Every structure is written in structure tokens, then in C-alpha cells.
Amino acid sequence: MKTVAFTDFRKNASSFIAEVEQGETIVLLRRGKPVAEVSPFADTCSVSPAWKKTRTPLRLPGGDLSSAILSERESAA
């Protein structure tokens, strides 16, 4: 991992992007503090998002809600 001042990156962006294409990760510094990380693009994501993960369905004891509503309607009539 390489650290570069933002102004140097701006002046020599083309050469730094070429390094990133070769697999180098560059951390950009502004006033000595890291503000961004430039890394090679990865086509595949190693971690799938939470919404894509399979989950255990929620099971509650008792009957289903629609049956309870229908029986309530029948008893009220």
C-alpha cells in the first residue's frame, strides 16, 4: 500500500492510475490525514449483501391470521 499526497496525485494521476492497474493500492492524504483509498476494481464481490443471504422463516405457534379473521367474521354474523 502506497501513500500519496493529494496534490501529488492530482499532478501525476495518470502514472498513479497505471500503478493501480498493476494491483497497487494507493491511500490519498490531505494535510497528512488519509481521505481516500484507490484500489484495483474487483469484478466479483467476495461477501454477499445481507439481503441476499438465506434466512430461517419465522414460525409461530397457532393458526394463521387469515383463518382467525374468517372465523371471527363468521361468528359475528
What is the chain written as a DSSP string? -EEEEHHHHHHTHHHHHHHHHTT--EEEEETTEEEEEE----SS-SS--GGGS--PPP--SS--HHHHHHHHHHHH-
Report how far residue 77's alpha carbon sits from residue 36's, in angstroms, rounded to the nearest whole number. Answer: 68
Report CA torsion sign: 34, 35, 41, 45. Answer: positive
pLDDT tier at 45 (50, 70, 90 boundaries)? low
Which domains, from first to last, does the chain contain? 1-41 (3.40.1620.10)
**46-76 tens-digit pLDDT:** 777 788 888 888 777 877 888 888 989 999 8
